[in-house]
Structure 1
C-alpha cells in the first residue's frame, strides 16, 4: 500500500512539474507571437515610410529634370550671373542676356539633385527615428 502511495505521489509531482513547464512554454509562445506581431507592424510602418519618402524623392528629381528641360528649351534660370560684354565705343548694350556657361548649368542641376536626395534621405531618417526609435506614432 505504501508503494502505491509513493508511486502516486511521484506521478503527481511529475504531472505538476510538466504542467508547470507546459504553462511556461505557452507563455513563451505567447510572448514570441506578440513580438512577431510587433515586428510585423514595425516592418509595415517602415515600409510605408520608405515608400512615402521614395515617392517624394522621385517627384523632386522629376521636378529638377523638368526644370533642366525647360531651361534647355529656352526657359530662364534666375540667379546672379555676369555678362561677357564686348567693349564697343557706341555705348549701346549688347542684345545678349546674361547666362551661365554649360559647366555651371550642369553643376547647378547636379547640386539640385543632390540637395533633393539629401533632403529626402534626412526626412525619411527623421520619420524612421520618430516612429521606430522614439515610438512616436
Structure 2
C-alpha cells in the first residue's frame, strides 16, 4: 500500500469538500432557476388567458352591435319598400291645398304626402340616426367593459 502524506490528505479532503460545495451551489442555482421559470410560465399562462378573454369579449361586443346595425338597416329597407309600394305612409302635419277638380264639400283626390326627394332625405336621416345610435352604444359599452382599469 502506498503511504499518502498527511498534507496531501488534507489538501485532497479540502479539494473534495470544495468540489461538493461547488456541486451543491450549482444544483441549488438550477433548482431556483427552475422554480423561477415555473413561476414565469404561470404568469405567462395567466396573461394569455386574460388576453384571450379580453379578445373574446371584444368580439362578442362587435358581433352584438354589428347585428344591431344590420337589423336597423333591414328595418330601414323594409320602410323604404313599404313607402315605395304604398303600404305605409309618413304622417305629417300638412295642409291640403284646394283642388280645382274636386267638387265642393268632397275631399281632394290626392292625399298630402312628401315629394320623392323629401322621402329619400327622411329615410337617409333615419338610417344615419340608427347607425350613429348603435355605434355610440357600442363604443360606450366597449369603454365600460374593456377600458375599465
TM-score under structure 2 length normalisation: 0.78
Within 5 Å, give how 1:86-125 maps onto structure 2.
88=100, 94-125=108-139
Deviation sequence 1:69-128 (CA, Å, 0-9, x none):
111111211134565x3675x876643222112111111111111111111111111221
Cα pair 1:81 1:100 within 8 Å, conserved: no
Matches of 2:128 and 2:27, distance apart in 1: 68
**Structure (1 or 2) with the larger CA radius of gyration:** 2
User: Match of 2:79?
Assistant: 67
Matches of 1:133 and 1:21, distance apart in 2: 36
SS at match of 1:110: helix
SS at match of 1:56: helix
Unaligned stretches of 5+ residues in structure 1:
none
Unaligned stretches of 5+ residues in structure 2:
1-12
User: Match of 1:52?
Assistant: 64
Alpha-carbon spacing, 1:81–1:27, altered in 2? closer, same or farther (3 Å): farther
Cα pair 1:56 1:120 within 8 Å, conserved: yes
2:29 to 9, 13, 17: 17
In the alignment, structure 1 residue 39 sits paired with structure 2 residue 51: yes
In the alignment, structure 1 residue 77 sits paired with structure 2 residue 90: yes
- Paired positions, count: 133
Matches of 2:71 and 2:25, distance apart in 1: 69
SS at match of 1:77: coil
TM-score under structure 1 length normalisation: 0.85
Matches of 2:140 and 2:34, distance apart in 1: 44
Please state how far the C-alpha of 1:10 moved relative to its aligned partner. Answer: 1.2
In the alignment, structure 1 residue 2 sits paired with structure 2 residue 25: no
Matches of 1:87 and 1:64, distance apart in 2: 33
Root mean square deviation of aligned Cα:
2.1
